[in-house]
Amino acid sequence: MSDLFKLLDEAPTALIADAFVIMFSKLNNPNYNVIVCSISGGSDSDILLDIVTKFDHNKKVRYVFFNTGLEYQATKL
């Protein structure tokens, strides 16, 4: 829980802090057995992946990547 408070203290805006609270509540909600998260391979997705994996203690999140043909080759490796 202290990691969440640290994350909230460091959030650059209230909107981002609210998103962290929503993410944390969904990860810890017993009504959700599996949560699917789409990852594009870009920098925002990398940050999202890092934050979610730190709080996904029950390993509920499954990540998916859709190859649209627009991604850089390095993204698909």
pLDDT tens-digit profile of 19-77?
888 888 999 999 999 999 998 878 888 888 998 998 999 999 999 988 787 777 777 66
| Burial letters 18-55, b for 16+ CB under 10 A, else e | eebeebbeebeeeeeeebebebebeeebeebeebbeeb
Q: What angle do CA 38, 10, 44 make, to 5 degrees?
A: 25
What's the pLDDT band for 10 if we cut at 50, 70, 90? confident
The structure tokens listed for 3 are 């990691």
Provide the whole-model pTM: 0.71
Distances in Å between the Cα of 31 and the Cα atoms of 3, 20, 25, 55 are 23, 19, 11, 17
